[in-house]
Amino acid sequence: MISVVIPTYNEAAVIEETLRRAAAALCAASEDFELVVVDDDSADGTAQRAESLAPAIPVRVLKRPGRLGLATAVLDGWAMARGEILGVMDADLQHPPEVLTALAQAIRKDAADLAIGSRYVPGGGTSDWTWLRRFISRTATHMAATVLPLKLAAVGDPMSGVFLLRASALQDAKLNPMGYKILLEVIAKAHYRKLVEVPYVFQERERGSSKLGARQYLEYLLHLAKLASGTGQLLGWLGYGLVGLVGAVIDVALFYFFVERWGWRPAPALAAAILVALSSNYAGNETFTFRMREAGATQGGFGVRMARYVRVCIPGALLNMLVTLLVISQGGGVFTGAAVGVVSGGIYNFLFNIPAIWRTWNRLVEPPSPAG
């Protein structure tokens, strides 16, 4: 049985349509299911409307005494759920309930342990968002993937509010009900082997209003920090940082040596130095940073991975070269140029490239198999 939790806070205008469409979507996937509405004492009668649909639709309603928050609503709903597959979806139709069909199939047919409705895989999207809203959402997603690359770098939409997972994946996972993003907790702490993302288009809210405010944004940042320290990710960062530091020293030292001792011209000397530094970084991360990576997380042999790694490092390397040569052409010394260049490349990688780089060692997501 699939139990889908639908948290509600003043969603009377849409709850009936949501429940009907969710039920139809799960029927279409030939699933035995229940819908668990967790209502936080909505003043508009959301709970009564939901109850009025039973028994025609298998829906149960948990009424909580006041606004206790989205994450705890989901956890309370799962606690009373009967299914061996658990899920969550918003009540306001911004998640088109029809996505449940594909999510259920991803769990059953593709044997996924976690199936996420995703805005950020091909076919998914955000209907009419302004560029500012898009930018904020993308930045928040990218930040999460940068802070927690081992867990999140391979997930397109780790902040999704619609997903299904096997209840067994939550066994002895201590989920901390913090903030709005319960999926972050699940990805970071649940035990799953196969994660699948199913595209959907996030709809505009037509009725009711969003419950997301400044407080939720702040909680989000705290949540990320907490996850980083609680998941062992900090240790990974330590290894990665040390390996990078060694690489930077190699880069500067070799460049200096090639130019000052062997009399090479700066451009080829730099290219050679960077290539050696990249190889050292790759080997170092392979041996230390990612030694304990999850089995099956990586695809391809040593050579294939190294090529992938070097390829994602090209933009940072080019920036490094550009800055180094620029500093030298402006009369800066060989050493200064190389040092400023390598720091520029490092900053670029840290800001924009961490998820892509760490994906070299972690590819946990597989695309859903074609329908049918």
Which listed option, ligand GDD, Mn ion, none, makes contact with residue 211 (CB within 5 to 8 Å by class)?
ligand GDD
Q: Which residues contact 259 (CB under 8 A, 6 or more apart)?
A: 265, 266, 269, 334
Q: Select the residue interacting with ligand GDD from 3, 118, 160, 360 (CB under 6 A).
A: 160
Structure tokens at 74: 């989901």
**Could you tell me the strand order of the sheet in which 195-199 lies?**
59-63, 33-39, 2-8, 85-88, 163-166, 114-118, 195-199, 365-366
DSSP assignment of 31-42, as one string?
--EEEEEEE---
Give the integer Cα–Cα distance in Å for 67 and 110. 37
Residue 4 binds ligand GDD, judged by CB under 6 A: no
**Per CB under 6 A, does 118 bind ligand GDD?**
no
Q: What minimum distance in Å lies between the beta carbon of 11 and Mn ion?
A: 9
Task: Give min distance, CB of 29 to Mn ion, in A.
Answer: 23
Q: How many CB atoms sit inside 10 A of residue 294's CB?
A: 13
Between 187 and 252, CB nearer to ligand GDD? 187
User: What is the number of the residue whose Cβ is closest to ligand GDD?
Assistant: 161
Tokens of 86: 């658990």
For ligand GDD, the closer CB: 64 or 363: 64
# of chain residues touching ligand GDD (CB under 6 A): 25
Residue 38 interacting with ligand GDD (CB under 6 A) = yes
Q: Which does 19 bind (CB under 5 to 8 A by kind): Mn ion, ligand GDD, none?
A: none
Residue from the set 29, 31, 94, 197 that interacts with ligand GDD by CB under 6 A: 94
**Binding partner at 93 among Mn ion, ligand GDD, none, C-beta below 5 to 8 Å by kind:** none
Distance CA 181, CA 74 (A): 10
Q: Which of 33, 180, 240, 258 forms a contact with ligand GDD (CB under 6 A)?
A: 180
88 three-class SS: strand
Nearest to 90 by CA among 217, 218, 182: 182
What single-letter amino acid sits at 356?
A
Query: SS3 of 208, please?
Result: coil
Amino acid at 72: T
Residue 197 contacts ligand GDD per CB under 6 A: no
Closer Cβ to Mn ion, 203 or 279, answer by number:
203
Name which of 31 and 92 has its Cβ closer to Mn ion: 92
11 binds, among ligand GDD, Mn ion, none (CB under 5 to 8 A by kind): ligand GDD
Of these, 54, 111, 212, 225, which contacts ligand GDD (CB under 6 A)? 212
In residues, how long is the chain?
372
**Shortest separation between residue 259's beta carbon and ligand GDD, angstroms:** 51
Burial of 363 (0-12, 13-18, 19+ CB in 10 A): middle
Interaction between residue 156 and ligand GDD (CB under 6 A): no
Which stretches of the chain bind Mn ion, using CB under 5 A? 92, 94
CB of 83 to ligand GDD, least distance (A): 19
DSSP 127-167: TT--HHHHHHHHHHHHHHHHHSHHHHTT-S-TT-S-EEEEG
Least distance between Mn ion and beta carbon 8 (Å) = 11
- Measured CA to CA, the distance from residue 342 to residue 54 in angstroms comes to 64
Closest to 342 measured CA to CA, from 138, 12, 350: 350
Nearer to Mn ion, 7 or 337 (CB): 7
- Residues in contact with ligand GDD by CB under 6 A are 7-9, 11, 38-40, 67, 69-70, 73, 90-92, 94, 159-162, 180-181, 202, 210-212
